[in-house]
Structure 1
Amino acid sequence: MTQTQKSQAAANMTLVSADVYYELVQFYNMEARLLDGFNYPEWNKMLADDIHYYQPVRAVTYDNQMREGYNAGYGGYVFDEDKERMEIRFKKFETELGVSDNPRPLMRHMVSNITATVSEDGNEYEVVSYFMVQRFRHNRYQDFYTGQRTDKLRRASNEYGWEIYDREILLDQTQFIGGTTSFFF
């Protein structure tokens, strides 16, 4: 979706009520706690079966225009996954800790600046948030990642009341300084 299409879609959305906003903040706080604890089986319950989880490559050009995805000139995405691919990663993280994650790193996910809107028909929610992820490995290596997530959610009959069916992750960095991405945003 182009930036123009995103702007047009946002124009057809209205801010959620205070009660719904509070529910969503609690949802994201719980999600951060699950991700910090590497509790991927539980986090998986927050994800829809048709989840699209992706991070476009980003680049800043000389004319200061941010370019994303295929337009960045680097071939698309850092990752572009569906539920099946994510579940393979969950299992790998649980059974095969790599050198960079053995022992497990200390993780901290922080989410802020949450803006939540709902579509005219009330079936689709869009949540834009800023995040900071800190990873501390081997008592000496520390990585910080900051950026923006744009999520699409819908009501769900799971214990969290919501499910994410689309997550776009835009890092403020144009490259991974820490080398590996054996975690989720």
Structure 2
Amino acid sequence: MNAELQFEITQFLNLEAYLLDHRDYDKWLNLLADDIRYVMPMRVTVDRKGGSNINDEMTYFDEKKADITMRVERLFTKSAWVDNPATRQRHYVSNVMVTEGSRENEYHVRSYFLYKRSRSSDLETEEIFGEREDILRRKDGGWKIASRRIYADQSVLTVKNLAMFL
């Protein structure tokens, strides 16, 4: 992959992290393709005999853009007690690897992520970390996330809820 495209895609992922960290969800939603599929399958612990440790039949979430939009809108209602007070959050993205996708103007992007958040107590922080597989689509001179699969490294999540976007 050429260095210019690698840099452009890495900057796009950094922009996405910035928008999420600053709760600019309207702009973040504009980064998502209308046909996005946003999935987080469960990880299971298996013995050393091999086989996948990802269970695609069970997911923490499997959403389309309408579902994601509804979650964003809910964050700004009085019934969103899980996000009141609003969490302080950081999204870290690294190890970005880009390969050509199966369609024109699409690229397969793997990256590692670390998500950290705290709420009202500075003594209590939560984190999720793992790998993401994205399909990014170049559209109208910009980028859209057409697909995201999130693979948390933990088989037991230690966060209190999944009221976040990864």
TM-score norm. by structure 1 comes to 0.82
Alpha carbons of structure 1 residues 62 and 46: separation in structure 2 relative to 1, 3 Å: same
Q: Tell me which of 29, 42, 63 is aligned to 2:14.
A: 29
Alpha carbons of structure 1 residues 93 and 18: separation in structure 2 relative to 1, 3 Å: same
Alpha carbons of structure 1 residues 64 and 169: separation in structure 2 relative to 1, 3 Å: farther
Match of 2:54 in 1: 68
Match of 1:78 in 2: 60
Q: For 2:103 and 2:117, locate their aligned partners in 1 and report how far apart those are by CA, in whole Å.
A: 40
* Deviation readout 1:103-154 (Å, 9 max, x if unpaired): 1111000000000011376422010000000011112321011100000011
Per-residue deviation at 1:38? 1.4
Is 1:103 aligned with 2:88? no
Per-residue deviation at 1:97? 5.7
Q: For 2:102 and 2:17, locate their aligned partners in 1 and report how far apart those are by CA, in whole Å.
A: 29
Answer yes or no: is the 8 Å Cα contact 2:43–2:155 preserved in 1: yes
Answer yes or no: is the 8 Å Cα contact 1:100–1:137 preserved in 2: no
Unmatched runs of 5 consecutive residues or more in structure 1: 1-15
Match of 2:108 in 1: 126
Is 1:87 aligned with 2:72? no
The residue correspondences of 1:1-185 to structure 2 (distance < 5 A) are 16-63=1-48, 65=50, 66-70=52-56, 75-96=57-78, 98-119=80-101, 122-139=104-121, 140-157=123-140, 161-185=142-166
Q: Percent identity?
A: 35
Alpha carbons of structure 1 residues 87 and 61: separation in structure 2 relative to 1, 3 Å: same
Per-residue deviation at 1:86? 0.6
Per-residue deviation at 1:17? 1.3
Per-residue deviation at 1:157? 1.8
Residue identity matched to 2:136: L
Give 3-state SS (helix, strand or coil) of 1:87's partner: helix
Residue identity matched to 1:114: V
Answer yes or no: is the 8 Å Cα contact 1:117–1:126 preserved in 2: yes
Q: For 1:120 and 1:104, locate their aligned partners in 2 and report how far apart those are by CA, in whole Å.
A: 39
Q: For 1:49 and 1:120, locate their aligned partners in 2 and report how far apart those are by CA, in whole Å.
A: 19
Unmatched runs of 5 consecutive residues or more in structure 2: none
Answer yes or no: is the 8 Å Cα contact 1:125–1:153 preserved in 2: yes
Answer yes or no: is the 8 Å Cα contact 2:74–2:80 preserved in 1: no
TM-score norm. by structure 2 comes to 0.91
Higher helix share goes to which structure? 1
Q: For 1:119 and 1:183, locate their aligned partners in 2 and report how far apart those are by CA, in whole Å.
A: 27
Per-residue deviation at 1:96? 3.6
Alpha carbons of structure 1 residues 89 and 121: separation in structure 2 relative to 1, 3 Å: closer
Q: For 2:2 and 2:88, locate their aligned partners in 1 and report how far apart those are by CA, in whole Å.
A: 35
